[in-house]
Copies of this chain bind each other. A is one copy, B any other.
């Protein structure tokens, strides 16, 4: 199985720490001094050899910054996206590239910026996933929900999940977009819904068959791209063809309509760490549930995030509840934890105001 990391993050939701040139996957926000992409690479290490490295799909301009943040001698190779076309084309491009190198070996796609704990269970799930993929399934890892989360997509299974200690693959009934709160609660109670982790495993031939069936236009373009990869993998035609492709997510292009999708409930802890408010899921707090990653004077505060980077400024916080404070040399962010998702809009507002210096 060939591991591929999707590193297409745009760096908005962890602003002001994340920037266009330094998106979330390049940051170390979990207090472990490694970037999230490095954590992801290390996690996939057992699956790699010198001849079969980890592949990273990203914007050309992020290759150098990514290499700069890596502290270990990771075995990795980059697949550059000529232009941004969402996850569907990005995954197809990588699949075409890897098919030319390794034939119809299963490929596994992983987001670059998620939190995972429980390496053994993670590897067990992937071993089963590779096995199911070689038998023709598109396999995804699903996260047993622990709360009625409205920020994730859900995967519906055909029957209730019992949750054993060994990995199991289940047929998928449907992929479901982010639900509203009552629906999320229903999903939580029903016991046959999982969070969509964004991890996918399949054989190239399976993807091409589904593209042919579901996305004939995309399929045609990628037949041409695959042809280039077998004849001249450095041909500029690849980039030209890719540029002509429409933007579409892998969920929408393939997963939702695929004939044979299976999900393996995760045997590991997971968070997409999607925003500042999610840090509490993955970082230890002080005894009043504050996360303090700053030179700080914390006076009667509860459940706050005090985060400083690139600045030695003291943060004096007094009597605050559920507040996020992120201090960087050129921008300071203050907002309630429940509004953490709003950061994306703030970045959009800054773009509208032409504050490109801060993006």
Contact = CB atoms under 8 A, between A and B. Distances in A.
Interface of A: 16, 297, 299, 312-320, 323, 325, 327-336, 339, 342-343, 345-346, 349-350, 353, 355, 358
A87 B61 CA distance: 65
Given A299-B346, A319-B342, A314 B330 contact: yes
Q: Tell me how many chains of this kind the complex includes.
A: 2
Nearest to A328: B313
Nearest to A315: B332
A320 B349 contact: no
Given A320-B336, A334-B334, 15 more contacts: A297-B349, A299-B345, A299-B349, A313-B329, A313-B331, A315-B331, A316-B331, A316-B332, A316-B346, A317-B334, A319-B335, A319-B339, A320-B334, A325-B334, A327-B332
A313 B325 CA distance: 14
A323 B319 contact: no
A346 B349 CA distance: 34
A303 to B, nearest CB: 14
Contact of A318 (B312, B319, B342): B342
B316 A334 contact: yes
A309 to B, nearest CB: 13
Contact of A335 (B16, B318, B339): B318
A331 B319 contact: no
A317 B331 CA distance: 11
Nearest to A332: B315
Given A349-B299, A355-B314, A332 B332 contact: yes
22 contacts: A16-B316, A297-B349, A297-B353, A299-B345, A312-B330, A313-B331, A314-B355, A315-B334, A316-B332, A316-B335, A316-B350, A318-B333, A318-B336, A318-B343, A319-B336, A319-B339, A319-B342, A320-B334, A320-B336, A325-B332, A325-B334, A327-B332
Given A313-B330, A332-B327, A318 B297 contact: no
A297 B336 contact: no
Nearest to A15: B316
Contacts of A350: 297, 314, 316
Contacts of A323: 334
Select the residue from A312, A319, A345 with max chain B CB neighbours within 10 A: A319
Nearest to A353: B297
A-B complex: 8 closest residue pairs judged by Cβ atoms:
A318-B335, A319-B339, A314-B331, A316-B333, A315-B332, A317-B334, A316-B346, A319-B336
A319 to B, nearest CB: 4
Contacts of A317: 334-335
A180 B352 CA distance: 50
Contacts of A312: 330
A152 to B, nearest CB: 23
Contacts of A325: 332, 334
A4 to B, nearest CB: 35
